[in-house]
Chain A
Amino acid sequence: MRLNDCDPGFKHEVAAEPGGAGIRACFACAACSARCPVGANRPAYDPRRIIRLTLLGRREEVLASPLIWLCSSCYSCGEVCPQQVRFTEVLTAIKNIAAREGHAPPSAKITAELLAKQGRLLEVTDFENDKRSGLGLPPVQQRPEDFQAILGLKPSEGEAGEEPR
């Protein structure tokens, strides 16, 4: 690794994102890595390593890594961290930067489009409401207007039930 290839500003960029400031406090004890259930099943996923690479400024290596999308967001690392790094939040900050640069998995775009189309993740049709009413449950509705306004997205065209493009 050549230091000249590193981006010393990357850690500041992460720290400036909401939830990212904790990265400044890490003293590399690896309590997070020891407690991580994902790392226990997939040793390549190592919270301390992601933090060190970020602090070193390995910007592209971190943002383009498929590993950053493997956090199960169980928050176990945060409970054992003696420095209150809050790694789940730090990684959310890193993933948000990665997403803005086109590294998000395709499901991310679909999620936003589903919310703009339905106002909820899962579609509600007469079928669902008939089932609910058969059990004596009140109907639920799709009211996507607020979500379209917040996300600045118009729902895409398409048949009901079809995945938006």
Chain B
Amino acid sequence: MKALLFLGCTVPVRNLNYELSARKVCEVLGVELVDDQSLACCGYPLKGTDQAHALTIAARALAQARAHGLPLVALCSACAGTLAEAEHHLAHHPEAAKRVNAELAPLGLEYAPGVRVTHLVRYLLEDVGLEAIRAKMTRDLSEFTFAPHYGCHYLKPAEIIGGPDDPEAPTSMGELIEATGAKVDNYPRLKDCCGGGVLGADEDLAGSLAGAKLAELNAREVTAMVLVCPFCNVMYEGQQKAIAKRMETKFKVPVVYLTQVLGLGLGLTPDELGFKLNRAKPKALLAAFKS
């Protein structure tokens, strides 16, 4: 199994624990991730003000993936969503494809429909499969309970993402967590948005969106909250202290990436999975893995 890795802007600079654990888990599961240094931004940051150029930038990445002949697999949900939307839009609007190709021609690139774009977590589920992942587990995590945060762009728009989750009742992260033997807490605010999309425009508003979920999880005694997106991480881990301060309270919600949980179940060590870089550390979990 081979896929082209789309790292995006944030993960390779700010979320090395996510990248490291994703690469290690893929290695153990027999997935070869191909790197291409010329892949960079997906175009998402420009969409709100200049969607024509955002689309050309996304099409550039799609054209590069096509040249590799590989599925394009992203770690960031915003990248995965933006690229999937661009593929969908361009495949259904030949006039838009013609325009972006005129802009890509001087770069020696050509977009053509048919590139498969997905999030790494969905790739693991759909291409490796839950049974194969379960069969590789060597360490039982049944003493732990994890609270998944699916985030928005991992699930929606459903008509473009195309499953496997129902965005109003998602299960895919829970299934992967359960593959390690761990329990899943599907808490009431499971589907809440992290607010990361408005952090730049209104910090208070973003903080109140993330804060409601943090307050709920703080009271539920989960081992950790589990993420699949670096933007959600900015809110739940990076902003956790600032949000608590604004709400005049204290939170201790450990935050981990799904690939770190899977990695522990697959027999990798906390060091190999980059847990040293987690700031809201899952102390109970790490204590169990002290050698």
A contact set with B: CB distance below 8 Å:
18-19, 37-38, 41-42, 69-76, 78-79, 86, 88, 92-93, 95-96, 99, 104-105, 107-108, 111-112, 115, 119-124, 128, 131-132, 135-143, 146-147, 149-151
Contacts and interface: CB of A to CB of B under 8 A. Distances in A.
A72 B157 contact: no
A120 B41 contact: yes
B94 interface: no
A140 B45 contact: no
A111 B205 contact: no
Given A122-B14, A140-B37, A75 B157 contact: yes
Contacts of B12: 124, 128, 132, 137, 140
Interface string B142-179: 00000000001100111000000001100000000000
B14 A121 contact: no
B9 interface: yes
B50 A149 contact: no
11 contacts: A18-B55, A73-B152, A96-B51, A108-B46, A120-B41, A122-B9, A135-B16, A139-B37, A146-B38, A150-B56, A150-B57
Contacts of A93: 51
Contacts of B45: 111, 115, 121
Most chain A Cβ neighbours within 10 Å, of B103, B202, B208: B202
B192 to A, nearest CB: 6
Contact of B10 (A74, A76, A122): A122
A92 B49 CA distance: 8
A135 B50 CA distance: 37
Nearest to B206: A72
Interface in B192-220: 192-193, 195-198, 200-202, 205-206, 208-209
A37 B40 contact: no
B200 A76 contact: no
Contacts of A99: 48-50
Contacts, number: 151
A149 B209 CA distance: 38
B168 A70 contact: no
Nearest to A73: B197
A115 B103 CA distance: 17
A70 B106 CA distance: 36
A115 B202 contact: no
B237 interface: no
Contact of A72 (B51, B53, B96, B196): B196
A111 to B, nearest CB: 5
B50 A86 contact: no
B168 A79 contact: yes
B1 interface: no
B198 A124 contact: no
B50 A74 contact: no
Nearest to A140: B12
B46 A115 contact: yes
A147 B107 CA distance: 10
B48 A146 contact: no
Contacts of B49: 95-96, 99, 104, 108, 111
Contact of A38 (B7, B51, B57, B209): B209
Contacts of B221: none
Contacts of A105: 200-201
A121 B10 CA distance: 8
A107 B45 CA distance: 10
Contacts of B50: 96, 99, 108, 112
Given A41-B209, A71-B198, A121-B41, A150 B60 contact: yes
Most chain A Cβ neighbours within 10 Å, of B93, B156, B208: B156
A150 B157 contact: no
A33 to B, nearest CB: 15
Contacts of A111: 45-46, 49
B191 to A, nearest CB: 8
B4 to A, nearest CB: 14
